[in-house]
Amino acid sequence: MIMFQHDTLILDASCVISLYATQRMGEILAALPPQVTVATYVAEREALYIRGAAPEPDAPRPKLPIQLAPFIQQGLLRLVQPEGEKEAALITYLASQIRGQGEVVTGAIGICRQWGLVVDDRRARNLLGDTAPQIQLLHTLDLVRYWVGQVQLPQGETTAVLTAIRTGAAFMPHPQDPNWAWWHEQ
């Protein structure tokens, strides 16, 4: 089971989308010991929707808007923005190295504030890990797997949650993700 090294986590857009796609995001956030945050930029510009089920086999899948307000109102999620010159300088540096603006903002905030980062993109993970090796880098599936273990979710429900991530967020873990085997065993 994962050991959290920081009292606060900051999620990138892929993580928000995947957690929302589970339709159990509130339960997952409530089970996590650290405070969970997301950059306002990510919430307003990148983590906008998940894919719904197609009404017919060959029909396009509808976009379903992500609604984070209930989680914020319940105190399960907090929105944060970059602050100060140190974070601005790190945003500039990271933006010169990777394309994903959400990962840039998330990384800069997390690194400067000494928060754990939840990022799935391998290139961003490599850069953030090289930039701040003292910061814990987590995968989305680390959070899901932690929750599954905490609540002792039955196998069938775990499979349904992972299927919802795959279909609603179009997410599949990379073979280098430490949870890859677990994903395929469910």
Mean pLDDT in order along the chain per 10 residues (186 residues): 94 98 98 98 97 86 96 98 97 93 97 98 95 97 98 97 96 93 94
pLDDT attached to residue 26: 98
Interatomic CA distance for residues 29 and 128, integer angstroms: 23
pLDDT for the residue 1? 77
- The pLDDT score that the predictor gives to residue 6 is 97
179 Cβ contact list (under 8 Å, min separation 6) = 139, 141, 142, 145, 173
Compute the distance between CA of residue 184 and CA of residue 124 in angstroms, rounded to an integer.
Answer: 24
pTM for the predicted model, two decimal places: 0.96
Q: What is the rounded CA–CA span in Å between residue 97 and residue 144?
A: 29
3-state secondary structure of 70: helix
Q: What is residue 133's predicted lDDT score, i.e. its pLDDT?
A: 97
Q: Measuring CA to CA, how many Å separate 53 from each of 36, 58, 68, 156, 177?
A: 28, 11, 20, 19, 27
Could you give the C-alpha distances from 112 to 34, 75, 85, 126, 134, in angstroms and in order? 17, 23, 10, 17, 11
